[in-house]
């Protein structure tokens, strides 16, 4: 039922991308599209002029529809300049940062690329020439940013829980875990765009292959190193080397641009004052279901209890008859599968995948795990939700370029008060 709903509401194979805009662009084998949705906390913004140009003389102008959507057909792969005419904005809307207009976007025929301008309500110019929403924070904007924070936090939790399980069972801080997120996103692009699979099958295939990569890593790399009793510092350096190797491999294979994973621009739904794209709602629902499933697995199954026993005391768990190597291998499979799912859902929610997607999330994953308590899966979930909400809501008062720094600052402040994290256990040293 979920699969059918996903295909139906996104409408990847039939129908226009926008119900209220009959002239909307639909990508095909010869034509690509650039489009987006223009809105602020008051709702969609209609009648705004947007111009798309390239260096070879291509120029196309369009205006936003009643639901805030716009799109332009592009003939070939090129780097396009997308410019919003600020003079056509209504008096209730303004760009959050005028430095972000125009936008450079690499787009290709056969796929749709998304460009969204960040608008604020009743913004006032500041001395730097940009606009700021300070002093105009409304309950509607608070709810909207809170919803965005929950969305990001749930997706972040998928990767962070896996990272926490790896640390809990092996003591290893895996710096290559971010590349598992990237792998899930890029595999979704390959299956969805290059192989033209339905989006549901694309996500499932990406998750399965991501999980298999964890199985392969443990067989080829981690188990032999464990048996040689290689220290944790050396293992951590190996993860750093693996991370760099995978990053360069992804960049070589897929290039440095952002790749669109949906052939058309998805519609959006409004739930009260909150407006998100349909893939965002589905990503949040999938993440919630999977996280509940992981919690039930850890609490209700024999394997889950064995996993928690190894996290508490590996030597005692081995003495009680638990096959530690088997459980650790299962943890690697589960952790990489969760990270791949996180990458796939992130790519769907933002309609974009890039070679450094996981690298951008890595510090936030570590922050979530540390904030929640090292080695505790539930702590990673709580930490991820806190980090996600802080990251998104900080943009109400600060430039978006500082939102990740704010999250790390919150981490430092919490650890000064509670060094073991929210759900971590205090340990006696010395």
User: For 266-272, what is the mean pLDDT?
Assistant: 80
What is the per-residue pLDDT for 43? 66
Q: Within 13 Å, how many C-alpha atoms sit on residue 76's CB side?
A: 7
**290 — pLDDT class (breaks 50, 70, 90):** very high
Does residue 215 register a pLDDT over 90? Answer: yes
Asked whether residue 13 carries a pLDDT value surpassing 60, the answer given is no
Closest CA to 200 of 265, 83, 283: 283
234-264 burial: b if 16+ Cβ within 10 Å, else e: ebeebbeebbeebbeebeeebeebbbbbbbb
Q: Which long-range contacts (CB under 8 A, 24 or more apart) does 51-58 make?
A: 51/82, 51/83, 51/85, 52/80, 52/81, 52/82, 52/83, 53/80, 53/81, 53/83, 54/78, 54/79, 54/80, 54/81, 55/79
pLDDT of 207? 97
pLDDT for res 185:
95
Inform me whether the pLDDT recorded for 138 exceeds 70: yes
- pLDDT tens digits along 238-268: 999 999 999 999 999 988 777 888 877 677 7
User: Residues 379, 369: contact at Cβ < 8 Å?
Assistant: yes
What does pLDDT average to over the chain?
A: 82
CA atoms within 13 A on the CB side of 31: 12
CA distances from 205 to 155, 189, 271, 286 (A): 18, 11, 31, 15
Rounded percentage of the chain residues whose pLDDT exceeds 90: 35
Q: Report the alpha-carbon distance of residue 238 to residue 377 in Å, rounded.
A: 24
Average pLDDT (139-158) is 90
> Average pLDDT for residues 222-245, to the nearest whole number?
93
Q: Tell me phi and psi for residue 31, to 5 degrees.
A: -130, 135
pLDDT (0 to 100) of residue 121: 59
pLDDT band at 23 (very low <50, low <70, confident <90, very high): low
pLDDT digits (tens, 9 = 90+) for 164-188: 999 988 889 999 999 999 999 999 9
Dihedral-angle region of residue 138 (phi above 0 means left; psi in -120 to 50 means alpha; beta otherwise): beta
Residues 314-372: tens digit of each pLDDT: 788 888 888 888 999 999 999 999 999 999 999 998 888 888 899 888 989 998 988 88
- Alpha carbon of 14 to those of 17, 18, 408: distances in Å? 9, 12, 43
Determine what percent of the chain is predicted with pLDDT higher than 70: 87
CA atoms within 13 A on the CB side of 311: 21
pTM for the whole thing? 0.72
């Amino acid at each position: 039922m979920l699969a059918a709903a996903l295909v139906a509401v996104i409408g990847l194979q039939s129908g226009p991308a926008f119900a209220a805009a009959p002239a909307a662009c639909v990508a095909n084998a010869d034509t690509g599209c650039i489009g987006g949705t223009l809105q602020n906390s008051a709702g969609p913004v209609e009648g705004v002029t947007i111009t798309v140009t390239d260096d070879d003389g291509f120029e196309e102008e369009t205006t936003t529809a009643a639901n805030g959507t716009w799109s332009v057909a592009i003939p070939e792969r090129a780097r396009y300049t997308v410019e919003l005419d600020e003079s056509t904005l209504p008096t209730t809307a303004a760009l959050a940062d005028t430095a972000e207009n125009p936008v450079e976007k690499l787009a290709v025929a056969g796929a749709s690329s998304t460009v969204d301008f960040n608008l604020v309500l009743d913004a006032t110019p500041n001395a730097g020439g940009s606009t700021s929403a300070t002093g105009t924070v409304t309950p509607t904007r608070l709810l909207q940013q809170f919803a965005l924070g929950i969305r990001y936090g749930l997706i972040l939790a998928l990767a962070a829980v896996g990272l926490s399980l790896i640390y809990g069972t092996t003591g290893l801080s895996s710096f290559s875990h971010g590349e598992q997120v990237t792998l899930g996103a890029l595999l979704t692009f390959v299956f969805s765009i290059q192989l033209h699979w339905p989006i549901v099958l694309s996500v499932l295939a990406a998750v399965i292959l991501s999980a298999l990569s964890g199985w392969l890593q443990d067989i080829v790399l981690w188990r032999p190193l464990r048996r040689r009793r290689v220290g944790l510092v050396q293992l951590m350096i190996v993860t750093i080397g693996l991370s760099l190797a995978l990053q360069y491999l992804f960049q070589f294979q897929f290039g440095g641009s952002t790749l669109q994973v949906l052939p058309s621009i998805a519609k959006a739904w409004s739930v009260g004052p909150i407006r998100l794209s349909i893939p965002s709602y589905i990503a949040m629902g999938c993440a919630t279901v999977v996280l509940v499933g992981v919690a039930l697995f850890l609490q209700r199954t024999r394997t889950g209890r064995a996993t928690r026993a190894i996290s508490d005391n590996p030597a005692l768990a081995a003495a009680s008859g638990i096959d530690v190597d088997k459980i650790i291998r299962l943890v690697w499979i589960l952790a990489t599968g969760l990270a791949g799912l996180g990458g796939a859902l992130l790519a769907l929610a933002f309609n974009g995948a890039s070679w450094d997607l996981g690298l951008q999330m890595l510090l936030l994953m570590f922050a979530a795990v540390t904030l929640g308590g090292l080695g505790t899966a539930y702590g990673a979930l709580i930490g991820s939700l806190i980090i996600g909400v802080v990251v998104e809501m900080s943009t109400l008062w600060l430039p978006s370029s500082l939102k990740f720094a704010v999250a790390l600052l919150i981490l430092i402040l919490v650890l000064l008060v509670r060094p073991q994290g929210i759900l971590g256990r205090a340990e006696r040293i010395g």
